[in-house]
A and B are shown apart, each in its own frame.
Chain A
Amino acid sequence: MKKTLFDKIWDAHVVESIPDGPDILYIDQHLIHEVTSPQAFNELKEREIPVFRPNKIVATADHNTPTENQHLPVKDLLSRKQLKELSQNCEENNITLYGLGHPYNGIVHVMAPELGITQPGKTMVCGDSHTSTHGAFGAIAFGIGTSQVTQVFASQCLLVEKPKRLRVNVNGDLRKGVTPKDVILYVISKLGTNSGTGYFCEYAGDVFENMSMEGRMTVCNMSIEMGARGGLIAPDQTTYDYVEGREFAPKGEEFDKLKAYWETLKTDEGAEFDQEYSFDAEDIEPMITYGTNPGMGIKITGSIPVEGGKSDAKALSYMGFKPGESLIDKPINYIFIGSCTNSRIEDFRMAASYIKGKKKAENVNALIVPGSRQVAAQIQQEGLDKVFEEAGFKLRQPGCSACLAMNDDKIPEGEYCVSTSNRNFEGRQGQGSRTILASPLTAAATAVAGKITDFTKSLN
């Protein structure tokens, strides 16, 4: 039978199928962090159930951590307690933890790929909806709730219904200034925030084939923003080159053996999808959002749609925008470059290449937050930190930061923030904050201009 990439990986992980019910799906890699794990550990303790496979779990601290003075005790008492519980729980259960200050610490979806933990063909879960990021490697990766975290602790398995298959094809040449973030914002703007619900999405076409791993991660990261359980891209030479040589990647003969398996992970010609969409790369321009869900996106030079429902009116009133309005020249006082969507080395190279030789606008407060300690180190090695500093930006220490504003990195009420993160929900970046999602390039250009600008005109 002809199979999709998704089917091949899923079917290879089914321990048992329950008649008229879900599959027992084996999980190769479980990632955990401080926010969605404590209640799961408590539940196990109460029921006196041991962690079944501690060596298949890796923990990091990222969601509530400060991005300044990480060497000092965490000031916020509740955050400190949550981090302490994570350390204790990991220690008691023999789980590897890359805590605050560890050279491998970082946002869970940045650190696992860069350590070679993320590999093609794996099933991966984490109590975080952006776990879909790891699908960039041709893995089945998806976010789970805390009850499911408990299930994986107890059995290294999950009871899950097999999602349907969706394929999104984008072919052609991307225009100048159009980044992977723009591609996925464009796709979501076309399909809406729940078009993917119940599906696992494969991204196919030469646009994705030509993307770097960083770009593919940005795309797969936002699969959940169209409702999809996860997204994935078939592994290829770009994938193998990225994985090879990383700390926890297989080495030598073992690598070659696994690579031979990874090469089988492609959708068979003629395999069927339950739903399929195709887009033309040339139609994509730098994108920004104008509303309060990631599907409310327009081309940066476009205008806010005039026709909308009651919920759209609520969103526009929250954002302080009017139907038909263009966002060009809108003054912006905050920008955020970071989050599991856009905080990898390539994102900072992209931002630095635009910023180089320019100055930050005086009205702009910028939060520039690397995704991991390793990314931060590479930024220094490549001298990008100097570029940012000379332009008037200060780099923060790694963490989820202003993507969800659990720490002190908040956007004040009523202020707009052009943000490279993944969600523009009401209050997501702080109570009353107004988020405009965009690429690192758009955020950098906004920071220099102090307003939203059609920067593509100035690109060589």
Chain B
Amino acid sequence: MEKFTTLQDTAVPLEVENIDTDQIIPARFLKATDKAGFGENLFKDWRFDKDGKPVEDFSLNQDQYSGQILIAGNNFGCGSSREHAAWALKAYGFKVVVSSYFADIFKGNALNNGLLPVQVSPEFLEELFLAIRKDNKESFKIDLENQKIEILSSGKSENFAIDAYKKTCLINGFDDIDFLVSKLDAIKKFEEKQTQMREAAIQE
């Protein structure tokens, strides 16, 4: 997995709440059997009209916005468990998604792909949108080690939470698979005990 430590960049705002994974990557693009090529279909039906022309007022199509940070409305990534959503965001070029709330499965999928979900307070999210409205070339700094997101021009910042284990994984580029495989002995022991544990539960 790609490592993540810090990122300083401009951002693309997407002021819509409850963005579901069907919007991030529509189901008709889930027929691939590898992870390549999802970037071009990211937000397909919001980015393009039915004739394939770019939708002008959609922020990802607007030249004034650029950068590897996506700042989105509350409850980002709800709906389907499709990891294709995280692959699409990553392939398009995003490294960080900021929102005031993330759906659980999306958050896990993002973390497993080196895409950092940064959860901020609703007030700070509003500050972020405001900063871009004021200057669409505003830069933001995300510092994973110190768990801090900062608006560079004003210096306003907020700390964000992240699971300590996941943080270590991201900083070092580790993933869960190697870790779990290293635990196979403990897992086998657990399997042997499982029946006994059930019997003990009946006795209690």
| A binding-site residues for B, Cβ under 8 Å | 8, 12, 15-16, 18, 20-22, 24, 26, 35-36, 38-39, 42-43, 47, 49, 52, 63-64, 76, 78-79, 81-82, 85, 121, 127-129, 131, 143-148, 150-151, 154-157, 159-161, 163, 193-194, 197-198, 224, 227, 229, 258, 260-261, 264, 293, 309-311, 314, 404-406, 413, 423, 425-428, 431-432
Per-residue CB contact flags for chain B residues 160-204 toward chain A (1 = under 8 Å, else 0) read: 000111100000000111011101101100110010011101101
Given known A-B contacts A82-B33, A129-B81, A261 and B86 have beta carbons under 8 A apart:
no
List chain A residues, Cβ under 8 A from B201.
Answer: 8, 12, 261, 264
Per-residue CB contact flags for chain B residues 11-35 toward chain A (1 = under 8 Å, else 0) read: 0000111101011001110111111
Stretch from B98-106, B120-128, B139-147 forming part of the interface with A: B98-106
Is the pair B33, A423 in contact by a Cβ cutoff of 8 Å? no
Stretch from B2-10, B63-71, B107-115, B151-159 forming part of the interface with A: B107-115
List chain A residues, Cβ under 8 A from B22.
Answer: 404, 423, 425-428
11 contacts between A and B (CB under 8 A): A8-B201, A16-B186, A79-B31, A145-B82, A145-B105, A155-B181, A156-B187, A156-B191, A194-B78, A264-B201, A264-B202
Is the pair B17, A38 in contact by a Cβ cutoff of 8 Å? no
List chain B residues, Cβ under 8 A from A161.
Answer: 163
Given known A-B contacts A155-B181, A432-B50, A21 and B83 have beta carbons under 8 A apart:
no
By size class, the interface of chain B is 35 or more
- Best-surrounded residue of B82, B163, B184 (most CB of chain A within 10 A): B82
A-B contact sample (6 more), CB < 8 A, given A155-B177, A293-B78, A311-B16: A24-B187, A42-B33, A146-B83, A154-B180, A404-B27, A406-B28
Is the pair A24, B183 in contact by a Cβ cutoff of 8 Å? yes
- Partner of B27 from the list A8, A260, A309, A428 (CB cut-off 8 Å) is A428
The distance from the CB of A68 to the nearest CB of chain B, in whole angstroms, is 18
The distance from the CB of A74 to the nearest CB of chain B, in whole angstroms, is 11
The distance in angstroms between the C-alpha atoms of A63 and B184, with both chains bound, is 32
List chain A residues, Cβ under 8 A from B183.
Answer: 15-16, 24, 155, 157
Is the pair B81, A145 in contact by a Cβ cutoff of 8 Å? yes
The chain B residue with its CB closest to the CB of A163 is B104
Is the pair B202, A260 in contact by a Cβ cutoff of 8 Å? yes
B54 proximal to A (CB < 8 A): no
The distance from the CB of B80 to the nearest CB of chain A, in whole angstroms, is 5
Given known A-B contacts A78-B32, A129-B81, A147-B109, A194 and B187 have beta carbons under 8 A apart:
no
Given known A-B contacts A20-B165, A227-B103, A293 and B20 have beta carbons under 8 A apart:
yes
Per-residue CB contact flags for chain B residues 79-91 toward chain A (1 = under 8 Å, else 0) read: 1111110100000
List chain B residues, Cβ under 8 A from A21.
Answer: 163-166
The distance from the CB of A264 to the nearest CB of chain B, in whole angstroms, is 5
B41 proximal to A (CB < 8 A): no
Is the pair B45, A426 in contact by a Cβ cutoff of 8 Å? yes
- Partner of B73 from the list A36, A146, A311 (CB cut-off 8 Å) is A311
Is the pair A145, B83 in contact by a Cβ cutoff of 8 Å? yes
- Partner of A12 from the list B23, B31, B105, B197 (CB cut-off 8 Å) is B197
B61 proximal to A (CB < 8 A): no
The distance from the CB of B157 to the nearest CB of chain A, in whole angstroms, is 24
List chain B residues, Cβ under 8 A from A406.
Answer: 27-28, 30-31
The distance from the CB of B172 to the nearest CB of chain A, in whole angstroms, is 14
Given known A-B contacts A12-B201, A36-B81, A426-B22, A147 and B175 have beta carbons under 8 A apart:
yes
Is the pair B45, A145 in contact by a Cβ cutoff of 8 Å? no
Is the pair B45, A264 in contact by a Cβ cutoff of 8 Å? no
List chain B residues, Cβ under 8 A from A159.
Answer: 165, 176, 179-180
The distance in angstroms between the C-alpha atoms of A85 and B33, with both chains bound, is 8
Given known A-B contacts A26-B191, A39-B33, A194 and B86 have beta carbons under 8 A apart:
no
The distance in angstroms between the C-alpha atoms of A194 and B164, with both chains bound, is 24
Is the pair A151, B176 in contact by a Cβ cutoff of 8 Å? yes
The distance in angstroms between the C-alpha atoms of A264 and B183, with both chains bound, is 30
Is the pair B28, A405 in contact by a Cβ cutoff of 8 Å? yes
Given known A-B contacts A194-B75, A264-B202, A427-B45, A24 and B180 have beta carbons under 8 A apart:
yes
